[in-house]
Chain A
Amino acid sequence: MNPGELTIKKFHEGLVSREFSARDAIREIYKTIDAKDKHIQAYLSVNREVAHEGATIIDAAIARGEKVGMFAALPLAIKDNILVADQPCTAASRILATYTAPYNATVIEKLRAAKAICIGKTNLDEFACGSSTENSAFQITKNPRDSKKVPGGSSGGSAAAVAANMAVAALGSDTGGSIRLPADFCRVVGLKPTYGAVSRYGLIAMASSLDQIGPLTKTVEDAALIFNVLRGRDPRDATSADGRYGDELVNPKLEHIREMTIGLPKEYYGAGITREIQKRIEGVIAAFKNLKIKFKEVSLPHTKYALAVYYIIMPAEVSANMARFDGIRYALVPEAAEKEQLVERYVENRSRGFGVEVKRRILLGAFVLSSGYYDAYYAQAQKTRTLIKRDFEKIFQEVDALLTPVSPALPFAIGEKISDPLTMYLSDIFTVTANLAGLPALVVPPGFQLIGKPWHEADILGLGQMYERMNDMSQSIGVKSQ
């Protein structure tokens, strides 16, 4: 029995019907991890003792006849840039290799209040800088669907853990596609919420105007359930806000969903995507048309600038956020400890501690912000970002959601793109727009993206659940054998 194969509701049913105990579930999950993760390498650290303690408390409550909530004992994998108190938090970087989180991120506090169990921290591209998880300082995570391929990034460890049933669900973070691309590559569900819907307190910041935490799950319903727990204004994150969500967030009204019109933005189709992706999306469109959903061709004219805007604004924010890693706060790289002069300490810690992609983005960010270049690059990018956002505002007056591919091509091989950063950056071409415009976006197997209006996660989750039910996706999620 592997509880990692279950959805949230099925796990809860199994627990409260005493089919298995919380301790059984946790023990079995770690057995699965022990068997599979030496090949997949999704986890950077696990915390068996703490997980076991949590499970013991829940079993005692159940034995006393107490009612437990839907998330009780739920085994969750957490991306290693989200702080879980007293656990390592490395951001997959040498610079934080010895860092232990001193507090829980708000999302972790919420999940703990719901009695979920964090079973371990998952691998990522260092400081979430990457699209393949190959930029981790510690290990390469393999795609559980094909071990020669990357799992996507930067939340590759989380996506792989869910796809390989080494967790019921996981948390990731998304700045330019880092939840959605791995969800696509590993064939699981991934949700990037509206900017501000989920608190970033306790998320190691990459690009503060773009980052959001979100779930990676086996089903769209599970993504909705987790989002419902995570969301909400947090006084400790000034960019967070309360959306107006009703019951339809987790229980979509299919009559209402059927009335929707989905836009097909022409800039996301055509020469840029491979035949396999084209065929896949055509199949998805046909399935929705069977349900009488209406489609409309639309245009987002500034799409062609989105990647350039992203690769100016994001590195600028990264360079600012990485400035804090000075070897005095947080943690110290061993070679830097020997340096007694302040500047030498800084330089040694950062030069040894950061990997090449992070350095690349720090330098690119410094460049676009430097005098002489600021107006041509950064200021220009900020204005173009407004134009990109306006494109969406206009289109959302005519349609309820947009359907697009997630990636221009199928998952690429490990090692294939790592030495050419610009080629790697092109993987993000369909995902960055949702971050730039602050919009919610959902990825559903076999791999398509739904972009929604701000605060309208219910719409895209509803469309996703409708698609899933039609295709009975929940049966086929999960890799049963290595």
Chain B
Amino acid sequence: MPEITKKELEHLARLSRITLTDAELKKMVKDLDAIVGYVKELEITETAGVEPFIGATSAKNILRADEVEHDVHAAAQTTANRIRNAFPASEKGHLKVPKIL
């Protein structure tokens, strides 16, 4: 019984917005099967009552005043202009995209 089936992989690829050729799919199933087989050993680790480590920092949320920081704002404008100039397709300064809905 493989760790990950071709069907599961095709589903995950669809969700990840990636297509694979048949040859790529075959190799991917084989590689992922080996990798999942390796990481599966984690199942036996005794972790009852252990808190998950969800971030390597113990910092808490730090808030700042809701004020415009002018020099940051100016720099942000430069960045915004560079980004606008790099739009692959644009109309009247707006990014043009395929129909979403």
Chain A residues with a Cβ under 8 A of chain B? 85-86, 99-100, 102-103, 195-196, 209-210, 235, 238-239, 241, 302, 305, 307-309, 311-312, 319, 323, 326, 328, 331-332, 337, 339-343, 345-347, 350-351, 354, 356, 359-360, 362-364, 366-368, 370, 376-377, 379-387, 389, 421-422, 425, 436-438
- In the bound complex, CA of A351 to CA of B16 (Å): 10
Q: A350-B17, A359-B28 are in contact. Are A102 and B12 (CB under 8 A)?
A: no
Q: Is the interface of A mostly helix, strand, loop or mixed?
A: helix
CB-based nearest A residue for B97:
A328
Taking the nearest CB of chain B, how far is it from the CB of A439, in angstroms? 9
Q: Please, which residues of chain A bring their CB within 8 A of the CB of B28?
A: 356, 359-360, 363
**Cβ 8 A contact of B47, one of A351, A362, A380, A437:** A380
Q: Is there a chain A Cβ closer than 8 Å to B64's Cβ?
A: yes
* Contact B59–A350 (Cβ < 8 Å): no
B98: which A residues are within 8 A, CB to CB? 339-342, 345
Pair B86/A100 contact, Cβ less than 8 Å = yes
> Chain B's nearest CB lies how many Å from the CB of A274?
21
Q: Say whether, besides A235-B64, A366-B15, A385-B52, A342 and B99 are in contact (CB < 8 Å).
A: yes
| Structural contact, B57 and A241, CB atoms closer than 8 A | yes
Chain B nearest CB from A239 CB (Å) reads 5
Q: Which residues of A contact B62 (CB under 8 A)?
A: 238
Q: How many A-B residue pairs have CB under 8 A?
A: 155
Instruction: Return the contact of B56 from the options A85, A196, A235, A331 (Cβ within 8 A).
Output: A196
A359–B51 CB distance below 8 A: no
Whole-angstrom CA separation of A103 from B9 in the bound complex: 37
In the complex, chain B residues whose CB is within 8 Å of the CB of A384: 42, 45, 47, 50
Nearest first, the 9 closest Cβ-Cβ pairs linking A and B are A382-B52, A438-B56, A102-B82, A383-B47, A195-B56, A385-B53, A308-B39, A346-B17, A386-B53
Measured in the bound complex, the distance between the Cα atoms of B62 and A238 in whole Å is: 8
**In the complex the two chains form, is A350's CB within 8 Å of B18's CB?**
yes
- Do residues B42 and A305 form an inter-chain contact, with CB atoms below 8 A? yes
**Further pairs besides A99-B86, A305-B45, A383-B51: 19, Cβ < 8 Å:** A195-B56, A239-B55, A307-B38, A308-B41, A337-B88, A347-B19, A350-B18, A360-B31, A360-B35, A362-B18, A364-B35, A366-B15, A377-B42, A379-B52, A380-B47, A382-B54, A387-B50, A389-B53, A436-B53
In Å, the complex CA distance between A385 and B57 comes to 13
Measured between beta carbons, the chain B residues less than 8 angstroms from A302 are 45
Residues of B within 8 A of A381 (CB): 39, 42
Cβ of B39 and Cβ of A311 under 8 Å apart? yes
In the bound complex, how far is the Cα of B47 from the Cα of A420, in angstroms? 31
* Residue of B whose beta carbon sits closest to that of A422: B34
